[in-house]
Amino acid sequence: MGKYIIQKPVTSELVVEKSRFFCHLQRVETEEEAQAFVKQMKKQYWDASHNCSAYIVGQDGRVERSSDDGEPSGTAGSPMLEVLRRRELYDVAAVVTRYFGGIKLGAGGLTRTYGKAVVQAVDEAGLAQRIPMGDYVFDWSMEDAGRVLNQLYRQTLFAVGQVEYDSSVHIHVTLPEDQKLEAEAWLTENLSREVELIQAGSFFAEQPVDLDQKPAE
């Protein structure tokens, strides 16, 4: 099960024994997008010795593919894919473009280098998590709305969103979905009336992950 996405697309260069390895990382949401990205890199770097690839699509890892693109079997695509797995990444495609420098690296050297190229690129791209967020609403009386809103704007547990006025006041708040019960408890205690939050919408927010806490290689 994937936990992380990359924060941004990157191209990272690694030089080993005069061979140049460029790792291109890109977010993808479908296998078609991943295949299109691989095709684009092969077209852009048509003069390279190899354009090896690996990608994972879906948080459940439902699609995983890799290609050695002419390198000895198992020395390029597989170690690239293994790095993506170890980093618990998903919805990501990696292409490592190699320009041969005249010195053969051997199977072990290729395996280490292709893996290292992806590690370096992931470090440069940074990691992020998609946090499921909810847009919730609750109603309050017009007469008491000013006091309630004043309290809401002073707290830091959730964000106050749109406020709609008709016969009553419809107050929207935004917070991570797994904090809904905590928010209802806070509202009930501080507003001195039981509050039930009704979900009006949902979306994902991206939260950067501290690289010091990233999964070990």
Query: What CA–CA distance (Å, rounded) separates 156 from 159?
Result: 7
Q: Both tokens of residue 48?
A: 């390279």
76 and 112 fall within a common domain: yes
216 is a domain residue? no
Q: Which pTM value belongs to this model?
A: 0.80
Per-residue confidence (pLDDT) for residue 60, from 0 to 100: 84
Q: Looking up tokens 């905590």, which residue turns up?
A: 182
| Contact status, residue 95 vs residue 35, Cβ threshold 8 Å | no
Overall average pLDDT of the 13-18 stretch: 94
Please identify, among 125, 158, 185, the residue that sits at the C-terminal boundary of a domain: 125
Domain count, the chain: 2
Residue 52 has pLDDT above 50, yes or no: yes
pLDDT band at residue 211, thresholds of 50, 70 and 90?
low
The alpha carbon of 133 is separated from its chain's Cα centroid by a whole number of angstroms, namely 15
pLDDT band at residue 132, thresholds of 50, 70 and 90?
very high
Residue pLDDT, tens place only, 157-207: 999 999 999 999 999 999 999 999 999 999 999 999 999 999 999 999 999
70 and 87 fall within a common domain: yes
Q: To the nearest whole number, what is the mean pLDDT of the chain?
A: 94
Residue pLDDT, tens place only, 69-128: 999 999 999 999 999 999 999 999 999 999 999 989 999 999 999 999 999 999 999 999
Beta bridge pairs of residue 11: 24
Residue pLDDT, tens place only, 60-76: 868 999 999 999 999 99
58 and 107 fall within a common domain: yes
Q: Both tokens of residue 87?
A: 């980093």
> What CATH number is attached to the domain comprising 179?
3.30.70.240
Per-residue confidence (pLDDT) for residue 216, from 0 to 100: 47
45 is a domain residue? yes
Per-residue confidence (pLDDT) for residue 2, from 0 to 100: 86
Please identify, among 99, 125, 151, the residue that sits at the C-terminal boundary of a domain: 125
> What CATH number is attached to the domain comprising 89?
3.30.230.30
Per-residue confidence (pLDDT) for residue 213, from 0 to 100: 55
Query: What CA–CA distance (Å, rounded) separates 129 from 66?
Result: 24
| Contact status, residue 82 vs residue 215, Cβ threshold 8 Å | no
Q: Both tokens of residue 171?
A: 């107050």
18 and 108 fall within a common domain: yes
Which residues constitute the domain of residue 157? Answer: 129-209
Neighbours of 138 (CB within 10 A): 19
190 and 88 fall within a common domain: no
215 is a domain residue? no
User: Three-state SS across the chain?
Assistant: CCCEEECCCEEEEEEECCEEEEEEEEECCCHHHHHHHHHHHHHHCCCCCEEEEEEEECCCCCEEEEECCCCCCCCCHHHHHHHHHHCCECCEEEEEEEECCCCCCHHHHHHHHHHHHHHHHHHHHCEEEEEEEEEEEEEECCCCHHHHHHHHHHCCCCEEEEEEECCCEEEEEEEEHHHHHHHHHHHHHHHCCCCCCEEEEEEEEEEEECHHHCCCC
pLDDT band at residue 215, thresholds of 50, 70 and 90?
very low
Phi and psi at 6, nearest 5°, equal -80, 145
